[in-house]
Structure 1
Amino acid sequence: MRRPVPLSVTAAALMLLTGCGAAPGAGGTPTADATSPADPSPSDSAQPQFSFAQVSSCAEVEAAVQPYIEGLVPNEASVVDEWGVSCSWEPADGELDPANIRAVSVQLAPVEPDAEAPDPSLVAQSDGGTVIDSDWVSAHGGVAFSLTLGTAVAGATATTVWVPGVEATVGGGTWDGYPALDGPAAVDLVRGLISAS
């Protein structure tokens, strides 16, 4: 039996506050591709559409999160498929070390080309909520925000990074003695997974 970890609650709270989450990208209206060439606005066409197509397994994601998952084991339900990336690491069964009662997760989901960025205002107004200042995210018309519950020594953080083509949710946080997978670190992680630039 696996122990519940605060991160799950944090991520769920963040999803409820923002009204967004990982969802399959297929199933748009069949007429979307048949619209006239004049429909896209200049600002839409100027933005690149990011993709996680180069991520073929959770082993690749694990390499990117290695500093944050020491002492954790992969969740058997982790998966990478055409619908998205969902990889997580958690305490091993029978884990007794309090430092390892934590979890890390990375989810990447496709975003429709005409989708609007999520509104971070509710998260920003919450205790522990913040909008992340990132030149890379801003330059691509995206938004990033996080919600942290806990203390400076041990806290769980759920971060959403939205850029055209991809919405990422990263669960991590701060634990004494481990690198902090906080909002800015999550943005760097996502950038490394979906873009070489």
Structure 2
Amino acid sequence: MRALAKITGALAAVAALTALVGCSAPPAAEPSVPPEAGAPSATAPEKPAETMFSLDSISSCAQVEQAVAAYIEGLVPDEGNVVDEWGVTCQWESPEEGTDLADIRSVSVLLEPVEADAEAPDPSMVAEADGGSVIESDWVAGHGGVAFSLTLGTAVAGSTATTVWVPGVEAQVGGAQWGDYPALDGPAAVAVVQSLLS
């Protein structure tokens, strides 16, 4: 502030001297005043705001069904499916009258909101487990999230549980696989979650 006062005073003195001698030179441009110590630079790039996802765009399990249509062929929706203020719970199971071994499958998509200041889960324990892996995804990483999955089973039949965490939402996607049916594995689960939140 003292420096600013000195500069202001000097400008006033120059203006008074110019008026006394009748100088016709154009007025001098005001010198730029350096920002005060600790003040942010006016030209410093602003940090982009972190995207906070929400479940507001998901209104029913019928909407979720469209995102997993390729994985639930031959399955029926669970009677307890619900989308409410607490989150999204959508599951599909084999029909009671089913006799084909290929119908012994299930798919679940669970999403819940998380607090704005919540920390991402640590995937290290899952990554170290047999069948566990951290999923590489530009979409997840680009939003400061994390995704990981655990697969149990054989080459013919198995089950994969995937966690996808992005700011504002945590998703749990489960998919059993059988034979030639498409597997709802980790990357596929990330694609499902992305489609629901985008």
Which bin holds the TM-score, normalised by the shorter protein?
0.7 to 0.9
User: Secondary structure, in 3 states, of the residue corresponding to 1:46?
Assistant: coil
CA contact (8 A) 1:73 1:90 kept: yes
Normalised by the size of structure 2, how large is the TM-score?
A: 0.75
Match of 1:70 among 70, 73, 78: 73
Question: Cα distance, 1:174 vs. partner?
Answer: 2.9
Count how many residue pairs are aligned between Structure 1 and Structure 2.
153
Question: Is the CA contact (8 Å cut-off) linking 1:146 and 1:158 kept in structure 2?
Answer: yes
User: Conserved in 2, the CA contact under 8 Å of 1:148 and 1:173?
Assistant: no
Gaps of 5+ in 1: 1-41
SS of residue paired to 1:157: strand
Unpaired stretches in structure 2, ≥5 consecutive residues: 1-45
User: Following superposition of structure 1 onto structure 2, how do residues 79-94 of structure 1 map, counting pairs within 5 Å?
Assistant: 79-94=82-97
Q: Could you tell me how far apart the structure 2 residues matched to 1:67 and 1:133 are?
A: 22
Amino acid at match of 1:55: I
SS of equivalent residue, structure 1 residue 186: helix
Verify: 1:170 aligned to 2:173, yes or no. yes
Q: Work out whether 1:154 is the aligned partner of 2:157.
A: yes
Q: Which amino acid in structure 2 is aligned with residue 98 of structure 1?
A: L
Q: How does 1:5-84 map to 2 (within 5 A)?
A: 46-84=49-87
SS in 2 for 1:133: coil
Larger Rg: 2
Query: Which one of 106, 110, 117 corresponds to residue 120 of structure 2?
Result: 117
Amino acid at match of 1:130: S
Provide the C-alpha distance between the structure 2 equivalents of 1:157 and 1:67, rounded to a whole number of angstroms. 16
Identity %: 68
Question: Which consecutive aligned stretches of 4+ in structure 1 deviate over 4 angstroms post-superposition?
Answer: none
Displacement of 1:47 in angstroms is: 1.4
- For residues 136 and 86 of structure 2, the distance between their equivalents in structure 1, rounded to whole angstroms, comes to 29
Q: Is the 8 A contact 1:152 1:174 kept in 2?
A: no
RMSD: 1.3
CA distance in 2 between counterparts of 1:173 and 1:91 reads 11
- Residues 98-150 of structure 1: CA distance to partner in whole angstroms, max 9, x if unpaired? 00101000001001000000000110111100000101100100000000000
Deviation track 1:156-196 (CA, whole Å, cap 9, x = no partner) reads: 0000000000000000143212111100000000000011x
State the 1:82 CA deviation: 0.6
TM-score normalized with structure 1 length: 0.75
How far apart, CA to CA, are the structure 1 residues paired with 2:176 and 2:93?
Answer: 13
Given that residues 105 and 177 in structure 2 are in contact (C-alpha distance below 8 angstroms), is that contact kept between their aligned partners in structure 1?
A: no
Distance 2:138 2:63 in 1: 25
Query: CA separation in 2, counterparts of 1:63 and 1:139?
Result: 25
Aligned letter for 1:64? Answer: A
Amino acid at match of 2:77: P
Partners of 2:156 and 2:138 in 1: CA distance: 28
Matched, 1:135 2:162: no
The one-letter code of the counterpart of 1:155 is G
